[in-house]
Amino acid sequence: MTALLEVKNLSRSFGGLVAVKDVNFTLEAGRITALIGPNGAGKTTCFNLVAGSLSPTSGQVFFEGRQIDSTPPEIVCRMGIARTFQIVRPMRDMSVLENAMVGAFSWTKSVMEAKSKAYESLESVGLAGKANARTDQLTLPDRKMLETAKALSTRPKLLLLDEVMAGLRPTEAAGVVRVLQTLAEGGLTILLVEHVMRIVMEVASNVVVLHHGAKIAEGSPAEVVADQKVLDSYLGAGFHA
Protein backbone atom coordinates (compact mmCIF):
# COMPACT_ATOMS: atom_id res chain seq x y z
CA MET A 1 0.00 0.00 0.00
CA THR A 2 1.35 3.41 -0.94
CA ALA A 3 0.36 6.68 0.66
CA LEU A 4 -1.70 8.77 -1.75
CA LEU A 5 -1.85 11.75 0.57
CA GLU A 6 0.50 12.63 3.36
CA VAL A 7 -0.19 15.33 5.93
CA LYS A 8 2.92 16.40 7.87
CA ASN A 9 2.90 18.53 11.04
CA LEU A 10 -0.01 20.55 9.69
CA SER A 11 -1.00 23.62 11.72
CA ARG A 12 -3.32 26.52 11.09
CA SER A 13 -4.26 29.35 13.38
CA PHE A 14 -6.79 32.15 12.95
CA GLY A 15 -5.43 35.09 14.89
CA GLY A 16 -4.77 33.66 18.34
CA LEU A 17 -6.97 30.61 17.83
CA VAL A 18 -5.14 27.45 16.85
CA ALA A 19 -7.65 25.48 14.80
CA VAL A 20 -5.33 22.68 13.67
CA LYS A 21 -2.24 21.79 15.69
CA ASP A 22 0.60 19.65 14.38
CA VAL A 23 -1.56 17.02 12.70
CA ASN A 24 -0.03 14.04 10.87
CA PHE A 25 -1.78 11.33 8.92
CA THR A 26 -1.55 9.46 5.64
CA LEU A 27 -4.23 8.17 3.31
CA GLU A 28 -3.75 4.78 1.70
CA ALA A 29 -4.88 4.48 -1.90
CA GLY A 30 -8.25 2.79 -2.39
CA ARG A 31 -9.34 3.06 1.23
CA ILE A 32 -11.92 5.08 3.12
CA THR A 33 -10.56 7.18 5.97
CA ALA A 34 -12.78 9.09 8.36
CA LEU A 35 -11.88 12.30 10.14
CA ILE A 36 -13.93 12.57 13.32
CA GLY A 37 -14.07 14.69 16.43
CA PRO A 38 -16.37 16.93 18.42
CA ASN A 39 -17.62 20.28 17.09
CA GLY A 40 -14.78 22.76 16.70
CA ALA A 41 -12.15 20.03 16.65
CA GLY A 42 -10.69 21.40 13.41
CA LYS A 43 -12.07 18.77 11.02
CA THR A 44 -13.31 21.19 8.40
CA THR A 45 -10.20 23.38 8.72
CA CYS A 46 -8.07 20.29 8.13
CA PHE A 47 -10.22 19.45 5.15
CA ASN A 48 -9.89 22.96 3.70
CA LEU A 49 -6.12 22.84 4.13
CA VAL A 50 -5.95 19.68 2.04
CA ALA A 51 -8.37 21.04 -0.58
CA GLY A 52 -6.43 24.27 -1.00
CA SER A 53 -9.18 26.57 0.28
CA LEU A 54 -6.87 27.53 3.16
CA SER A 55 -3.11 27.79 3.47
CA PRO A 56 -1.43 26.19 6.50
CA THR A 57 0.40 28.31 9.06
CA SER A 58 3.03 25.59 9.11
CA GLY A 59 3.42 22.01 7.93
CA GLN A 60 3.00 20.37 4.53
CA VAL A 61 0.56 18.31 2.52
CA PHE A 62 1.90 15.91 -0.12
CA PHE A 63 -0.26 14.33 -2.81
CA GLU A 64 1.39 11.60 -4.86
CA GLY A 65 4.69 12.89 -3.56
CA ARG A 66 4.11 16.50 -4.67
CA GLN A 67 3.68 19.28 -2.15
CA ILE A 68 0.20 20.76 -2.57
CA ASP A 69 -0.38 22.96 0.46
CA SER A 70 -1.04 26.64 -0.41
CA THR A 71 -2.02 25.56 -3.94
CA PRO A 72 -5.27 27.21 -5.18
CA PRO A 73 -8.31 24.91 -4.99
CA GLU A 74 -8.82 24.77 -8.77
CA ILE A 75 -5.28 23.47 -9.25
CA VAL A 76 -5.64 20.98 -6.40
CA CYS A 77 -8.80 19.76 -8.12
CA ARG A 78 -7.01 19.39 -11.45
CA MET A 79 -4.32 17.32 -9.74
CA GLY A 80 -6.95 14.78 -8.71
CA ILE A 81 -8.50 15.85 -5.42
CA ALA A 82 -12.22 16.65 -5.49
CA ARG A 83 -14.25 17.91 -2.57
CA THR A 84 -17.82 18.48 -1.53
CA PHE A 85 -19.11 21.25 0.70
CA GLN A 86 -20.88 20.83 4.00
CA ILE A 87 -23.56 23.23 2.82
CA VAL A 88 -24.88 21.85 -0.46
CA ARG A 89 -24.32 24.26 -3.31
CA PRO A 90 -26.22 23.27 -6.44
CA MET A 91 -26.08 25.79 -9.25
CA ARG A 92 -29.43 27.42 -9.85
CA ASP A 93 -31.12 27.32 -13.25
CA MET A 94 -28.91 24.43 -14.28
CA SER A 95 -30.37 20.93 -14.39
CA VAL A 96 -28.99 18.06 -12.30
CA LEU A 97 -27.09 16.82 -15.34
CA GLU A 98 -25.65 20.25 -16.12
CA ASN A 99 -24.52 20.58 -12.51
CA ALA A 100 -22.70 17.29 -12.79
CA MET A 101 -21.11 18.38 -16.10
CA VAL A 102 -19.17 21.34 -14.72
CA GLY A 103 -16.54 19.20 -13.02
CA ALA A 104 -15.79 17.37 -16.26
CA PHE A 105 -14.64 20.61 -17.87
CA SER A 106 -11.54 20.42 -15.72
CA TRP A 107 -10.21 17.79 -18.13
CA THR A 108 -12.22 18.20 -21.34
CA LYS A 109 -13.65 21.00 -23.46
CA SER A 110 -16.10 18.71 -25.24
CA VAL A 111 -19.69 19.15 -24.11
CA MET A 112 -20.55 15.63 -25.31
CA GLU A 113 -17.74 14.07 -23.28
CA ALA A 114 -18.78 16.10 -20.25
CA LYS A 115 -22.37 14.91 -20.67
CA SER A 116 -21.43 11.26 -20.80
CA LYS A 117 -19.10 11.62 -17.82
CA ALA A 118 -21.84 13.47 -15.91
CA TYR A 119 -24.24 10.58 -16.62
CA GLU A 120 -21.67 8.14 -15.39
CA SER A 121 -21.19 10.15 -12.18
CA LEU A 122 -24.94 10.44 -11.64
CA GLU A 123 -25.34 6.72 -12.24
CA SER A 124 -22.71 5.84 -9.68
CA VAL A 125 -24.58 7.81 -7.01
CA GLY A 126 -28.01 6.61 -8.15
CA LEU A 127 -29.25 9.91 -9.59
CA ALA A 128 -29.28 9.07 -13.31
CA GLY A 129 -33.07 8.91 -13.32
CA LYS A 130 -33.28 12.52 -12.18
CA ALA A 131 -30.74 13.91 -14.66
CA ASN A 132 -33.22 16.35 -16.18
CA ALA A 133 -34.76 17.54 -12.93
CA ARG A 134 -34.11 21.01 -11.62
CA THR A 135 -31.89 21.03 -8.57
CA ASP A 136 -34.53 22.68 -6.37
CA GLN A 137 -36.77 19.66 -6.99
CA LEU A 138 -34.27 17.35 -5.31
CA THR A 139 -34.60 16.06 -1.76
CA LEU A 140 -31.77 16.67 0.72
CA PRO A 141 -30.19 13.19 0.32
CA ASP A 142 -30.35 13.59 -3.46
CA ARG A 143 -28.73 16.99 -3.24
CA LYS A 144 -25.93 15.57 -1.14
CA MET A 145 -25.43 12.84 -3.72
CA LEU A 146 -25.44 15.46 -6.48
CA GLU A 147 -22.55 17.17 -4.68
CA THR A 148 -20.72 13.85 -4.75
CA ALA A 149 -21.53 13.36 -8.43
CA LYS A 150 -20.26 16.86 -9.25
CA ALA A 151 -16.99 16.00 -7.54
CA LEU A 152 -16.78 12.60 -9.30
CA SER A 153 -17.03 14.27 -12.71
CA THR A 154 -13.60 15.80 -12.17
CA ARG A 155 -12.20 12.22 -12.30
CA PRO A 156 -10.58 12.43 -8.87
CA LYS A 157 -8.12 10.02 -7.33
CA LEU A 158 -9.02 11.33 -3.90
CA LEU A 159 -12.52 12.36 -2.88
CA LEU A 160 -13.00 14.61 0.14
CA LEU A 161 -16.52 14.43 1.55
CA ASP A 162 -17.60 17.00 4.13
CA GLU A 163 -20.47 15.59 6.21
CA VAL A 164 -22.33 13.97 3.34
CA MET A 165 -24.55 12.12 5.76
CA ALA A 166 -25.42 14.92 8.17
CA GLY A 167 -29.18 15.36 8.42
CA LEU A 168 -30.01 12.09 6.66
CA ARG A 169 -32.32 9.42 8.05
CA PRO A 170 -30.71 6.03 8.78
CA THR A 171 -32.17 4.39 5.66
CA GLU A 172 -30.97 7.27 3.49
CA ALA A 173 -27.54 7.12 5.08
CA ALA A 174 -27.38 3.39 4.39
CA GLY A 175 -27.83 4.17 0.70
CA VAL A 176 -24.95 6.64 0.84
CA VAL A 177 -22.78 4.07 2.61
CA ARG A 178 -23.39 1.59 -0.21
CA VAL A 179 -22.44 4.25 -2.78
CA LEU A 180 -19.20 5.05 -0.95
CA GLN A 181 -18.31 1.37 -0.61
CA THR A 182 -18.84 0.82 -4.32
CA LEU A 183 -16.67 3.83 -5.15
CA ALA A 184 -13.88 2.60 -2.89
CA GLU A 185 -14.08 -0.87 -4.46
CA GLY A 186 -13.59 0.87 -7.79
CA GLY A 187 -10.24 2.15 -6.54
CA LEU A 188 -11.19 5.63 -5.32
CA THR A 189 -9.59 6.91 -2.12
CA ILE A 190 -12.03 8.70 0.17
CA LEU A 191 -11.53 11.00 3.13
CA LEU A 192 -14.72 11.82 4.95
CA VAL A 193 -15.51 14.20 7.74
CA GLU A 194 -18.34 12.62 9.65
CA HIS A 195 -20.32 12.97 12.82
CA VAL A 196 -22.44 9.87 12.72
CA MET A 197 -20.26 7.32 14.53
CA ARG A 198 -22.31 4.31 13.49
CA ILE A 199 -21.65 5.12 9.83
CA VAL A 200 -17.95 5.68 10.41
CA MET A 201 -17.76 2.23 12.01
CA GLU A 202 -19.41 0.76 8.97
CA VAL A 203 -17.50 2.36 6.08
CA ALA A 204 -14.11 3.53 7.27
CA SER A 205 -11.08 1.30 7.33
CA ASN A 206 -9.05 3.96 9.10
CA VAL A 207 -10.20 6.66 11.54
CA VAL A 208 -8.37 9.84 12.57
CA VAL A 209 -9.72 11.52 15.71
CA LEU A 210 -9.18 15.25 16.24
CA HIS A 211 -9.76 17.13 19.47
CA HIS A 212 -8.99 20.83 20.00
CA GLY A 213 -7.16 20.79 16.69
CA ALA A 214 -4.78 17.98 17.60
CA LYS A 215 -4.83 14.33 16.61
CA ILE A 216 -5.59 12.24 19.68
CA ALA A 217 -6.01 8.83 18.10
CA GLU A 218 -5.77 6.94 14.84
CA GLY A 219 -6.53 3.39 13.87
CA SER A 220 -9.25 1.01 12.81
CA PRO A 221 -12.78 1.92 13.96
CA ALA A 222 -12.65 -0.82 16.60
CA GLU A 223 -9.35 0.44 18.00
CA VAL A 224 -10.53 4.02 18.08
CA VAL A 225 -13.76 3.40 19.97
CA ALA A 226 -11.82 1.46 22.57
CA ASP A 227 -9.36 4.33 23.08
CA GLN A 228 -9.77 5.96 26.47
CA LYS A 229 -8.87 9.48 25.23
CA VAL A 230 -11.48 9.23 22.48
CA LEU A 231 -14.12 8.03 24.92
CA ASP A 232 -13.33 10.89 27.32
CA SER A 233 -13.23 13.71 24.81
CA TYR A 234 -15.74 12.75 22.18
CA LEU A 235 -17.81 9.62 22.38
CA GLY A 236 -18.55 9.69 26.08
CA ALA A 237 -18.07 6.93 28.59
CA GLY A 238 -21.31 5.16 27.73
CA PHE A 239 -20.49 4.57 24.05
CA HIS A 240 -21.04 1.08 22.72
CA ALA A 241 -20.45 0.54 19.08
13 counts as binding other proteins under rule CB under 8 A = no
**Interface pick for other proteins out of 23, 82, 164, 207 (rule CB under 8 A):** 82
Which of 105, 120, 166, 172 is the binder for other proteins (CB under 8 A)? 105
For 63, the 3-state DSSP assignment is: strand
Nearer to other proteins, 95 or 206 (CB): 95
Binding of residue 134 to other proteins (CB under 8 A): no
70 touches other proteins (CB under 8 A): no
Give residues with Cβ within 8 angstroms of 123, minimum separation 6.
none
How far apart, in whole angstroms, are the C-alpha atoms of residue 231 and residue 218?
13
Phi-psi region of 30 (alpha: psi -120 to 50; beta: other; left: phi over 0): left
Q: Work out whether 133 is an interface residue with other proteins (CB under 8 A).
A: no
68 part of the interface to other proteins, by CB under 8 A: no
Task: Decide: is 46 part of the binding site for other proteins (CB under 8 A).
Answer: no
Residue 189's nearest CA partner among 147, 157, 228, 155 is: 157
Cβ-Cβ contacts under 8 Å for 134 (sequence gap 6 or more): 93, 95, 96
Residue ranges binding other proteins (CB under 8 A):
51, 53, 72-74, 77-78, 82-83, 85, 89, 91-95, 97-98, 101-103, 105-111, 114-115, 119, 131-132, 150-151, 153-154
